[in-house]
Structure 1
Amino acid sequence: MDFLAAYDAIPESEPARRVALLRRHMKGDGPALFAELRAGRPVFATPAGVFVTRMPDVVEVLSTPDVFTVGAYGPVLEEVLHGPFMLARDGADVHWHDRGHGQLMLPAEDFDPVRRLTARLADSALDRAVTTARGEGRTTFDYIQEYSAPVAARIAVEYLGFSGVPERTLHDLSRRVQWAVFANPGRDPEVHASGVAAGKELHDLVAGVIARRRAAASADAGPEPADVLGRMLRTVLPPGTGREMDDERVNHQLAGYLIGYQQNATQCAATALKELAARPEALAEAERLAAEPDTGSASEPAAFDGYVWEALRFHPFVPSTPRLCVRSHVLAAGTERETRLAAGTVVHAAMASAMFDEAVVEDPYAFRPDRTPVHNMVLGHGAHDCVGKYPARAILPEMVRRVLLRPGIRPLPGPEGAMDYAGTPYPQHYTVTAGSAPSPRRAGNG
């Protein structure tokens, strides 16, 4: 690739052409583009912002929230969610207060029960998909529409607490919000309006769930459900800890959890399988490990899980995240790439590039499931890393593991096995063979 030569050949007076070329290359072959930038222009200034591609520089940006804030997207996120949320703020008033609360609601102790829940729901969805395919005379089914999306949504219902909300509604609303906030760089007004409407609908749905829970508790209609929403409604913060977590704040928290989870889990369960299928030796070893009865726990993750996280390193859900530089800052000080950034600069921290930084990551293009987690940014990094990282570490590997326990369910080879994005930023269809293997519910955590 010779992207930089083509980019430099476009006059500075034509910024739209430069940005169009950049986005075309990012969409067409992002890994090759990032490799060229790391080698030739690791801090790359463009009309769309400064792209930071080396691991130390990405870490610097994501670990310095007083300089690099979420102001690049925070106001849009709060407009769409119709209220404040930790991912849209920096500082103690909302971000650290609500993040601390969120970590209590989504603790490491949830790893084992959430993994068991995922196994149960995944097996049920696979049974249904295979049975339906056979009944309709099909030899394949849609992995995303019939497996990963509904499983993710069912976990949202049973674990997060979206009781009574249709699975399809959860998936569609979260996609529209995600698209408007994080995958709409040109701020297309139709996409934005759709996201705002989806956020309002989600807010009202959550308000209804909370009202029903409060009414049931007042009527003493049995024990409060043991889900995340139940925890939030039961928890009373001690005096002096900051803002009250009233029902409106609980609403914003729960809706925000869904936005950060549903599309992510749906896509990652598919792209991890895709990346494994592209590496037959890795797939075979993952299949072997998946069948081992001991799948690990929160304190000692299974060897199998490393295959999923390494697969996602090659296809992360969030390849790059924007930050707003709010005061003059010297990035990568003392290095050859030292760059002074002016206040007001939008900086794109390219995590997908950082995870392949040859100067930090040994043999980055080799598939190594035993890599140190320090070099994996799939769940983010720094002040705004994934607040739900503990349940995520249970859900994603187990969704893939349940599939690999069934040898008759695998992606189609070649172009037939390509993912279909259907005009959206997220995979919508992924065809896999339906197989004939029975449900392996006695294996491992299932």
Structure 2
Amino acid sequence: MRDRVHADWDPRDESVQQDQIAAYDDLRRRCPVAHSDYLHWSVLSHSEVRRILEDHSTFSSAVSRHLSVPNGMDPPEHGDYRRIIEPYFSAANMRDFEPRCREIARELARELATEVELIGAFAQLFSLRVQCAFMGWPASLHEPLRQWTLKNHRATLAGDRAELAAVATEFDGYIRQLLDERRAQGEAAPDDATSRLLRERVRGRALTDEELVSLLRNWTVGELGTITASVGILAHYLAEHGELQRRLRLEPALLPAAIDEILRIHGPLISNRRITTREVDIGGRRLAAGERVSIIWASANRDEAVFGDPDAFRLDRDPADNLLYGAGIHVCPGAPLARLELRLVMEALLAATEQWSLLPGRTPLRARYPGSGFSELWLAVTPAR
């Protein structure tokens, strides 16, 4: 018999928002599949999250009333679009983009003040500039996209459907203008990711504007939010762990593994959604068909059953256990780009400084759901000589 649905917790409660990671740890230990009015069924354990990721026939990604390419699609439709997207993140494309990405990171790192609010003055700027550079978008979009990201976050937190629709329409306008400009340029259009997408075909036809806008919206939202959060989380962790900061300056080859481990400890992405296609038991709870499910990445990646002490920093963990970029058919196609950007930005920060630490008297402000990381992070920076 199906559980009588009641609220096990309130994701928007102030006690949760003050420290989401600690709140999810507590909830996972006492209620690994928890119900709330806001997030519906939240799944917090590593094993059950892996089960959901591998059973897309029971846990569908088609959760939205609106087109979502390819995040909100199931097989076989998902595969048709995924095959278009993956080549954009090939090893060759990453090598081609690396010099420009490194240049952006170094320029911003050299401009750091000795006392800096890192999120607004560095992390957001880095994510905006590299996203626009990768897509071939003009610098004039940097500030509009930054403001759009803030509005989208506020509307998502408030659950304001009208505002969410208005924010989506605003973004669509930016993208449609870019597409129209490329079409008008014809053969003179720059040969970049945006122009190439206009030439892609799915099932023997060109992508529609609706599909292109949805795809680009998903890329941009994922890129701007998670890269900004990741840079803040990494900088904060190294500010609190000076010995590791010094070690990474001496052994930069350790950066890729260290970045993945720090972002396991404090996930930059809180959750993703699914919907059940049939009645199913999970984590001791019975869910009916049509129930909405939230995968809590920031909890699953700290599950003691897999990682022991979730706060223990270790470079010898099995990478297959780390769900930083997901798993299964929906594993993040942009993971190679994210890893490149985060490695280069941390290399630039470490090279441009002798050290950084938390600025006394300025307590870091944690981001509120659906964000992760920090909304404000003040650092004291000693520039390199």
Instruction: Say yes or no: TM over 0.5.
Output: yes
The answer as to 2:95 corresponding to 1:112 is: yes
2:353–2:381: 8 Å Cα contact kept in structure 1? no
The residue number in structure 1 matching 2:48 is 57
> Taking structure 1 as reference, are residues 193 and 27 closer, same or farther at Cα in structure 2, changes over 3 Å only?
same
> Taking structure 1 as reference, are residues 255 and 354 closer, same or farther at Cα in structure 2, changes over 3 Å only?
closer
1:177–1:196: 8 Å Cα contact kept in structure 2? no
The residue number in structure 1 matching 2:216 is 254
Q: Shift of residue 287 of structure 1?
A: 2.1
The residue number in structure 2 matching 1:313 is 264
The answer as to 2:216 corresponding to 1:270 is: no
The answer as to 2:213 corresponding to 1:230 is: no
The residue number in structure 2 matching 1:410 is 356
The answer as to 2:83 corresponding to 1:100 is: yes
Give me the whole-angstrom Cα distance separating, in 1, the residues matched to 2:363 and 2:316.
27
Alignment of 1:28-427 (within 5 A): 28-48=18-38, 49-72=40-63, 74-75=64-65, 78=66, 83-93=67-77, 95-127=78-110, 129-130=111-112, 133=113, 139-163=114-138, 165-181=140-156, 183-184=157-158, 187=159, 189=160, 192-218=161-187, 221=188, 224-236=189-201, 241=203, 244-290=206-252, 302-331=253-282, 337-408=283-354, 410-413=356-359, 416=362, 418-419=364-365, 421=367, 425=371, 427=374
How many positions carry a matched residue from both structures? Answer: 380
Query: Per-residue CA shift, 1:236-268, capped at 9, x if unaligned?
Result: 56xxx3553144432332232111111111111
Q: Shift of residue 162 of structure 1?
A: 1.9
Q: Shift of residue 178 of structure 1?
A: 4.8
Specify the SS of the correspondent of 1:177: helix
Q: Shift of residue 121 of structure 1?
A: 0.2
The residue number in structure 2 matching 1:431 is 378
1:108–1:391: 8 Å Cα contact kept in structure 2? no
Give me the whole-angstrom Cα distance separating, in 1, the residues matched to 2:200 and 2:289.
40
Code of the residue aligned with 1:216 in structure 2: it is Q
Give me the whole-angstrom Cα distance separating, in 2, the residues matched to 1:421 and 1:319.
11
Q: Shift of residue 424 of structure 1?
A: 8.8
Specify the SS of the correspondent of 2:269: coil
Give me the whole-angstrom Cα distance separating, in 1, the residues matched to 2:251 and 2:297.
28
1:50–1:347: 8 Å Cα contact kept in structure 2? yes
Q: Shift of residue 63 of structure 1?
A: 2.0
Give me the whole-angstrom Cα distance separating, in 1, the residues matched to 2:20 and 2:120.
26
Q: Shift of residue 420 of structure 1?
A: 6.2
2:11–2:17: 8 Å Cα contact kept in structure 1? no
Give me the whole-angstrom Cα distance separating, in 1, the residues matched to 2:200 and 2:70.
18
2:248–2:255: 8 Å Cα contact kept in structure 1? yes
Q: Which runs of 5+ in 2 are unaligned?
A: none
Q: Which has the higher contact order (CA 8 A, sep 6+)?
A: 2
Specify the SS of the correspondent of 1:88: coil
Q: Shift of residue 396 of structure 1?
A: 1.6
Give me the whole-angstrom Cα distance separating, in 1, the residues matched to 2:21 and 2:353.
31
Give me the whole-angstrom Cα distance separating, in 2, the residues matched to 1:424 and 1:358.
24
Specify the SS of the correspondent of 1:51: strand
Structure 1-normalised TM-score? Answer: 0.76
Code of the residue aligned with 1:389 in structure 2: it is A
Q: Shift of residue 413 of structure 1?
A: 4.5
1:148–1:399: 8 Å Cα contact kept in structure 2? no
Code of the residue aligned with 2:142 in structure 1: it is E
Specify the SS of the correspondent of 1:344: coil
Tell which deviates more after alignment, 172-181 or 280-289. Answer: 172-181
Code of the residue aligned with 1:109 in structure 2: it is A
After superposition, the CA RMSD in angstroms is 3.0
2:17–2:369: 8 Å Cα contact kept in structure 1? no
Identity across aligned pairs (percent)?
Answer: 23
Q: Shift of residue 368 of structure 1?
A: 1.0
Q: Shift of residue 329 of structure 1?
A: 1.5
Give me the whole-angstrom Cα distance separating, in 1, the residues matched to 2:236 and 2:173.
36
Larger Rg: 1
Give me the whole-angstrom Cα distance separating, in 2, the residues matched to 1:317 and 1:54.
17
